[in-house]
Structure 1
Amino acid sequence: MRRTSIDRRGLLAVSLLVVLGGCSASKDSVLPHGDSTMLDIWNQETDGGAGGSQASRRLLDARQSLRRPLTSTDISREPNVASAYTRSAAIEIYRQFHRLPNPDLVMYVFPHLAGTDPVPVPGYTTVFPLYQRVQYAMPGERVEDY
């Protein structure tokens, strides 16, 4: 019976040639470099911070056309807009995130024997919350008091 799959030794030899072929390349052939330094490349791409190139001038003009001065209505509306999210004593007192109701469950544990040596435990009553964690409502989700 003849094997139709590739011989393991042949596969090993091919993979070894691929690995060794990758190690034979030099740094200069993979990453060639010229005479320019990083500072030269930076100055060439960013115009050295001078802002004198045509592309940077067009970008600055486009930004200036999008800017507009504040009108008197914008100035008068500004304190009201900021007060919606600015912290103050009044906002700190007012709770934005109300707690959702988490009713207490009262459970009676009957007298029983506990442990490896049966020890009698008298009956008792315990209280625990229905939900494991305290849940909070999003602002405006619940408005009634609990």
Structure 2
Amino acid sequence: MRSNLTDLAKGLALAASLALLGGCATSKDELLTHGDHTMMDIWQQAADAGSGGGTGQVAGRQLLDARQSLRRPLTEVDVQAAPAEQLRYTRTAQSEIHRQFQRLPNPDLVMYVFPHLAGTDPVPVPGYTTVFPLYQRIQYAMPGERTEDY
């Protein structure tokens, strides 16, 4: 019985190695045929086919012309106002934390502990009041979540 199992294992190993060697026998040129077209040619053909013919290039040119007409040079007033305008949008660590991740309210809970006996040898403990936060950790709101009272 043991010889049958070892023969089977050897046969499986031989079959696996032949399959691996057979996969390496294929050449790249047979597997991936290539013609005279470049990737740019294929891209242009796909763009033209998607837009209904040769109008893809015309539409692209019209889009570029429209964008160019909207562009204008900066005036001196724009150059002077740029630092103040950019400062409003500049992110700092402090503004990120305080604006985006606001702390959620963590109310204090007041608890009164009545007088009791504690421990293995019952020791009297007088009544007392203690204060602890509702949440164990500080909780933060996700950006855009409502943090004001409902």
TM normalised by structure 2 equals: 0.48
TM normalised by structure 1 equals: 0.49
Q: By percentage of residues, which structure has more helix?
A: 2
